[in-house]
A = this chain, B = another copy of it.
Amino acid sequence: MQLTQALHRSIQTRGRHIATIYGARERNWQQVGDRVARTAAALHALGLQRGDRVAVLAHNSDNYLELFFSTAWAGLVLVPLNTRWAVPENVYALRDSGARALVVDDAFAEQAVALTAACPVPNLVHIGEAATPAGMHAYETLIATSEPAEDRCASDDDLYAIFYTGGTTGVAKGVMLSHRNFVFSSINWIGSLHLDEDTRYMHVAGFFHLAGASPALAVSFAGGSHVCVPKFEPVTAFQAIQMHKVNYCLLVPTMVNAMINHPDIRAYDLSSVRYCEYGSSSMPDAVLMQAARELPSWEFIQGYGMTECTTLATTLPWKYHFDGPHGASKRLSAGRAAYGIDVKIVDEAGVELPRGVPGEIAVRGAQTMLGYWNKPDATAAAIRNGWLHTGDGAYMDDEGFVYIVDRVKDMIISGAENIYSREVENAVHQHPGVRECAVIGIPSDKWGETVHAVVVLRPGVDLTEAELIAHCRSLIAGYKCPRSVEFREALPLSGAGKIMKNVLREPHWQGRSKAVN
């Protein structure tokens, strides 16, 4: 099992078909294969040796996608850096991974100077469209001046990439994923998510995150086509879908929300899309229902997972979003175990809990990471008896559907009652004037915590705190309703598009004891 198998097969079976689209530029699989083999030779010529780490800091592009294969082809390890991170954070990742090369595009050429001032890296490569800055190797020159290298076929457990987790999950850790992890995950995606050679996949989630990287690899295994969009923005996405007849995409809920609330959405033909995977965080029910009305050709499939299990742990097919022959709608769940993945809900001792009782989600399978880079203790804490402990809280119903009650650390305990912020957010979202919202616990001397809502209203909407709380009271129990509401222009988002609740919580909790993640 080696990741370059995807490329070999796509060259053989889809050589003259489109592999990548970036702006007006198209490359077929034959061309991508040739460029990858030449890049691998160039990386060797730079002195990189088997197992060396190659960091990449760039927006999505066709060139970036090639690096997913050229590092593997050369026997190297890919380290995608987070485009949202500040310099000190990426310096940490560079230093921690011991990267011997750094690849950047135009947007990050300047940051590269600051990064390498703090953490020298022997090789800098520029994959942008503008002139190559001094001191960097030009990607196209490397390709043009190298002969194709032989694939240094990796084997199963060889390290393929290190992905740094961050954003909402605390101190950064490098998740080590193997060739086997991604091969198995990719074949699993094909079956679970209906990919095939006719898939034209729009990548708006950053490649540095598994929500971008997993489909980049899985679609390659299927022999499909990649439409690379550098940064998410509703109109850019509309244009890419219409122009390239995109039939598949992955969007995080905040992206779906931004698209369906954009005034120009109906100016574009978005009916080529057949499937939209959503995930990374929960989708408010009101948003999903509005999306279903606005985009009738789209089937939404929920995927729940995490970097540590190469994304997919559970999936919820579209049919389960509604009442049907299978029974009542399951759309408040995150679905059931993906193929080939064991999922169970456990207590703190790791013992499986009865159905309906909330606990921690644990998963097992061929997609489980090798471990955390340089962090054996963290690895031992996360993987126990072969089970990956996710830190996410959920219960499972009698049919195996997993209901994520909340990030365990995201649950609000008010007056000894457990309140799941997701449930409150769903209530807030049902108000037609609400565009986005996040619910957090803030300190209260009387209750321990009280429920606080941070809300972005739709343009032109006038809504008071009291009105919104009254709206919630009509839907959920009084103790779950927000005690306070804060109106903002926007919510802080992580690189993966998740709402960063830690940023919202931080000012309230300064000097207090609740862990701020």
Contacts and interface: CB of A to CB of B under 8 A. Distances in A.
A12 B335 CA distance: 12
Interface stretch (A79-87, A186-194, A421-429, A462-470): A186-194
Q: List the 10 closest pairs (A to B, CB-CB), nearest first.
A: A191-B191, A13-B400, A190-B191, A12-B400, A13-B336, A1-B366, A187-B340, A9-B337, A187-B187, A187-B339
A16 B190 CA distance: 27
- Residue in A1, A153, A192 whose Cβ sees the most chain B Cβ within 10 Å: A1
Contact of A8 (B153, B186, B342): B342
Contacts of A184: 1, 184, 187
Nearest to A195: B191
A16 B326 CA distance: 12
A248 interface: no
A15 interface: yes
Contact of A342 (B5, B15, B16): B5
Interface string A183-208: 11011101110010000000000000
A221 interface: yes
A399 interface: yes
Interface in A288-324: none
A230 interface: no
A365 interface: yes
Interface in A1-29: 1, 5, 8-9, 12-16
Nearest to A355: B12
A366 B185 CA distance: 13
A340 B221 contact: yes
A222 interface: yes
Contacts of A156: 366
A186 B365 CA distance: 14
Given A5-B365, A187-B187, A191-B190, A222 B12 contact: no
Nearest to A11: B400
- Residue in A12, A14, A195, A337 whose Cβ sees the most chain B Cβ within 10 Å: A12
B336 A12 contact: yes
Interface string A413-449: 0000000000000000000000000000000000000
13 contacts: A1-B184, A9-B339, A9-B341, A12-B400, A13-B399, A14-B400, A183-B340, A186-B340, A187-B188, A187-B339, A187-B340, A190-B191, A191-B191
A342 B399 contact: no
A267 to B, nearest CB: 29
Contacts of A221: 339-340
Contacts of A8: 342
A156 B366 CA distance: 9
Interface in A158-176: none
A31 to B, nearest CB: 15
Given A184-B184, A187-B339, 13 more contacts: A1-B184, A5-B365, A12-B337, A12-B400, A13-B336, A13-B400, A14-B399, A16-B399, A153-B386, A187-B187, A188-B191, A190-B339, A222-B339
Given A1-B365, A15-B399, A365-B1, A9 B187 contact: no
A160 to B, nearest CB: 15
A5 B188 CA distance: 14
Interface string A329-344: 0000000110111110
A364 B186 CA distance: 17
Contacts of A9: 337, 339, 341-342, 400
A5 B340 contact: yes
Contacts of A396: 12
Contacts of A186: 340
Contacts of A339: 9, 187, 190, 221-222
Interface in A375-426: 386, 396, 398-400
Contacts of A343: 12
A382 B446 CA distance: 75
A402 to B, nearest CB: 10
A192 to B, nearest CB: 8
A343 B11 CA distance: 12
Contacts of A222: 339
Contacts of A187: 184, 187-188, 191, 339-340
A356 to B, nearest CB: 14
A339 B188 CA distance: 10
